[in-house]
């Protein structure tokens, strides 16, 4: 008996690995390279689209705790991410090409994983199946999901541009992390004075956007964390200065003072030959991106490796459809995993794939599912997306707010986060033997 996994993104690869690790053959379906989406450029699995950052690294943070839980369970993606890390201050960022290449090699070389390069247009009924087709699920499969459950929703996600390192004018940029945390090699900062910023803001809000025929351009349903920068700018003159262009914790060595606004650039690869415009997800037309972003002094001659793009994300009304083990309540041999379940973020998606894969094996063996304790970040996420009490369901990333409250009151924010982390990891240790 084998298990089907649909999609070789982060959730699908993690699910396939966890299934094979437990001695069960996997049939992994992936439509690339036979069919590509507008957002994908590589034939490799686990291609990172929006950013190369996997969020905070330290364990006493929500994102860091999630990753540490995954490490302790034995995540393939965390093994690869740790080996492909690039400087990113307090975050774990990866060389995206090296990362996807390493994951692809691990999956393709596994003798228990059969790769089937074709698009799946109907949900299989001949085996336990994990559906991890991601935010760009093909139209035919998405239509079947809507017809079967009437619970498919969608929103629109946006990716930031990437520029070459040698095209950045270093006379108008300086290397530093906020408050000197994480060293000076993590970010390049592109400062603007008040006059430069206001001219940039004016150009940004009036710039021409790429047309979209599958979204209400006046009221797009976009996840707040990936809101296009031009939409953020429309909220007010100072919105960007208190958001992605906030200058706090930085000092321009040319002036000795804090800049009026700052665009941060984060290295995309180990060799630091490419930089991502942090927080600058956009749906502007490509020439407009070059024109408007070129008003930032350090980017006047910037060469773009990738322009920003906006694409559809699909997710389920999971509280009405899924159980906390990521299986469909009315069809328990079928599991969903990844961003389409309503978990938001790279590692959040991978963690859902991990648990869906483990529980798919449990289902095949006739054993009870394993749902991690609510004190763990992985367990809290799986419970949140399956909680029928959640009415207006929207994607959710790792955050301390979904964990049960601590018994004691701790006012210091860092100490409180550390207490959450310690409690979570202790709870996880108590159930690790059940995950085999």
pLDDT in tens, 310-361: 876 678 889 999 999 999 999 999 999 999 998 989 999 999 999 999 999 9
Longest CA span, the chain:
67
Same domain as 68, residue 111: yes
**Tens digit of pLDDT for each residue in 209-226?**
988 644 444 445 566 667
pLDDT value of residue 210? 87
Q: Rounded distance, CA 257 to CA 307, Å?
A: 32
- Token pair 């900062």 is found at 189
pLDDT value of residue 49? 80
pLDDT value of residue 349? 97
pLDDT value of residue 216? 44
**Tens digit of pLDDT for each residue in 99-146?**
999 999 999 999 999 999 999 999 988 899 999 998 778 788 888 888
Sign of the torsion formed by the C-alpha atoms of 348, 343, 399 and 435: negative
Same domain as 366, residue 291: no
**Count of structural domains within the chain:** 2
- Average of pLDDT values for 260-270? 88
Structural domain of 53? 3-155+314-435
Same domain as 127, residue 12: yes
Q: Rounded distance, CA 18 to CA 232, Å?
A: 40
Banded model confidence at residue 184, pLDDT cuts 50, 70, 90: low
> Which range is most confident: 39-53, 159-173, 267-281, 368-382?
368-382
pLDDT value of residue 173? 96
**Tens digit of pLDDT for each residue in 142-151?**
888 888 876 5
Instruction: Give helix then strand counts, H and E, for the chain.
Output: 12, 17
Q: Give the CA distances from residue 196 to residues 10, 262, 348, in Å, rounded to whole numbers and listed in that order.
A: 40, 11, 38
Same domain as 151, residue 236: no
Contact (CB, 8 A) for 86 and 267: yes
Q: CATH number of the domain that 244 lies in?
A: 2.40.30
Same domain as 142, residue 76: yes
Contact (CB, 8 A) for 292 and 285: no
pLDDT value of residue 152? 56
Q: Is the pLDDT of residue 384 over 80?
A: yes
Name the average pLDDT for the chain: 90
Banded model confidence at residue 183, pLDDT cuts 50, 70, 90: low
Same domain as 87, residue 41: yes
Task: Give the number of other CB atoms < 10 A from CB of residue 148.
Answer: 14
Same domain as 335, residue 296: no
Q: Rounded distance, CA 358 to CA 365, Å?
A: 11
The predicted model scores a pTM of 0.79
Contact (CB, 8 A) for 174 and 252: yes
Same domain as 243, residue 186: yes
pLDDT value of residue 218? 44
Same domain as 149, residue 7: yes
- Average of pLDDT values for 253-276? 88
Range from 47-51, 61-65, 77-81, 242-246 carrying the lowest mean pLDDT:
47-51
Same domain as 326, residue 294: no
CA-based nearest residue to 15, from 140, 129, 117, 123:
129
Contact (CB, 8 A) for 98 and 379: no
- Average of pLDDT values for 362-371? 97
Same domain as 304, residue 318: no
Q: CATH number of the domain that 411 lies in?
A: 3.50.50.60
More confident residue, 345 or 78: 78
Banded model confidence at residue 400, pLDDT cuts 50, 70, 90: confident
More confident residue, 296 or 180: 296
CA-based nearest residue to 267, from 91, 20, 131, 77:
91
Q: Which of 308, 343, 375 is the last residue of a domain?
A: 308
- Average of pLDDT values for 278-287? 94
CA dihedral 15, 18, 20, 21 (to 10 degrees): 170
Q: Which of 261, 282, 308 is the last residue of a domain?
A: 308
pLDDT value of residue 217? 42
> Which range is most confident: 172-186, 206-220, 277-291?
277-291
Determine how β-strand 174-175 pairs with β-strand 187-192. antiparallel
pLDDT value of residue 215? 46
Range from 179-193, 243-257, 365-379, 398-412 carrying the lowest mean pLDDT:
179-193
Q: Which of 267, 287, 308 is the last residue of a domain?
A: 308
pLDDT value of residue 179? 79
**Helices 62-73, 377-385: crossing angle, 10 deg rounding:** 100
Same domain as 173, residue 113: no
Strand order across the 53-56 sheet: 53-56, 91-94, 85-86
CA-based nearest residue to 353, from 382, 387, 333:
382
């Amino acid at each position: 008996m084998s298990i089907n996994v649909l999609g070789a993104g982060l959730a699908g690869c993690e699910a396939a690995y966890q299934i094979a690790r437990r001695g069960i053959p996997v049939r992994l379906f992936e439509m690339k390279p036979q069919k590509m989406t507008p957002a994908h450029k590589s034939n490799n699995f686990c291609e990172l689209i929006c950013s190369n950052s996997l969020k905070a690294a330290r364990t006493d943070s929500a994102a860091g705790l999630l990753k540490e839980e995954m490490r302790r369970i034995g995540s393939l993606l965390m093994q690869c991410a740790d080996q492909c890390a690039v400087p990113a201050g307090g975050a774990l960022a990866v060389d995206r090409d090296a990362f996807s290449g390493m994951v692809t090699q691990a999956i393709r070389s596994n003798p228990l994983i059969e790769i089937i390069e074709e698009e799946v247009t109907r949900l299989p009924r001949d085996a336990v199946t994990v559906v991890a087709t991601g935010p760009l699920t093909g139209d035919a499969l998405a239509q079947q999901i809507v017809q079967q459950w009437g619970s498919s929703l969608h929103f629109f996600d946006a990716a930031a541009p990437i520029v070459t390192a040698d095209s950045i004018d270093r006379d108008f940029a300086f290397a530093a992390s906020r408050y000197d945390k994480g060293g000076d090699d993590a970010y390049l900062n592109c400062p603007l004075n008040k006059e430069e910023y206001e001219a940039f803001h004016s150009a940004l809000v009036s710039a021409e956007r790429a047309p979209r025929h599958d979204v209400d351009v006046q009221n797009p349903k976009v996840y707040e964390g990936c809101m296009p920068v031009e939409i953020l700018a429309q909220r007010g003159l100072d919105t960007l200065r208190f958001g992605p262009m906030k200058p706090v914790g930085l000092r321009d060595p040319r002036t000795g003072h804090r800049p009026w606004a700052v665009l941060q650039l984060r290295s995309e690869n180990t060799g630091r030959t490419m930089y991502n415009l942090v927080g600058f997800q956009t749906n502007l037309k490509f020439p407009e991106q070059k024109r408007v972003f070129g008003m930032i002094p350090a980017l006047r001659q910037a060469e773009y490796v990738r322009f920003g793009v906006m694409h559809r994300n699909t997710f389920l009304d999971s509280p009405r459809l899924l159980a906390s083990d990521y299986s469909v309540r009315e069809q328990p041999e079928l599991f969903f995993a990844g961003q389409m379940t309503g978990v938001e973020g790279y590692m959040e998606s991978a963690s859902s794939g991990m648990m869906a894969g483990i529980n798919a094996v449990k289902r095949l063996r006739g054993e009870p599912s394993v749902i991690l304790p609510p004190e763990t970040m992985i367990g809290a996420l799986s419970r949140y997306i399956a909680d029928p009490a959640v009415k207006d369901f929207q994607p959710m990333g790792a955050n301390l707010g979904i964990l049960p409250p601590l018994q004691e009151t701790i006012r210091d924010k860092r100490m409180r986060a550390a207490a959450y982390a310690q409690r979570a990891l202790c709870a996880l240790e108590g159930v690790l033997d059940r995950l085999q």
